[in-house]
A = this chain, B = another copy of it.
Amino acid sequence: MAKLDLFKFVPFRLNRLGAEVSAALSSEYRARYGLDIPEWRVMATLGFRNEACSAQYIAQCTRTHKSTISRAVTSLLEHELIERVENTEDRREFRLALTRKGHALYEELIPRLLRREQEILSCLTAQERKEFARLLGKIEDSLDLVQASRPMSEVEAY
């Protein structure tokens, strides 16, 4: 008689925890700045890199569908948080970058989010936090989930 306790089943737990943590964080940028998750991901990617990126690149990095990124980009353009310039070398794509206004928002938001992350992890000791991050990394690696912080030119496959 096989049994599976949902509460000991890691996939379920990861899914629940991911959703819960995500919801906790998104209140920070949704209520306060009107950003949704895809928009925040675009902002985060552009803010972290200094070079302008294509939408495709952001989609790959964040593992978000290109149509979702496209919509987020449209919205951010309307709110003048990002700007885009045509890439003269490849006129299919656009280069995206934060505007001054977008940068200001980013600078204001980041410390808040890092604080929230610390709150969530405050139940762990420094040692445990480190270990948790390491184990998370191993799992990500094995799922080939790390598009990580590589320069744009090196990212090709999804």
- Segment touching B, from A72-80, A84-92, A93-101, A129-137: A129-137
Residue from A44, A121, A132, A139 having most chain B Cβ neighbours under 10 A: A139
Q: How far is the CA of A21 from the CA of B136 in the complex (A)?
A: 12
Question: Which residues A88-144 have CB closer than 8 A to chain B?
Answer: 106-107, 110-111, 113-114, 116-117, 120-124, 128, 131-133, 135-136, 138-143
Interface size class of A (residues with CB under 8 A): 35 or more
A139 and B17 contacting across the interface, CB-CB below 8 Å: yes
Give the residues in chain B near A16, CB-CB below 8 Å: 18, 63, 140, 145
B21 and A110 contacting across the interface, CB-CB below 8 Å: no
Q: How far is the CA of A132 from the CA of B124 in the complex (A)?
A: 12
Give the residues in chain B near A14, CB-CB below 8 Å: 14, 17-18, 21-22, 136
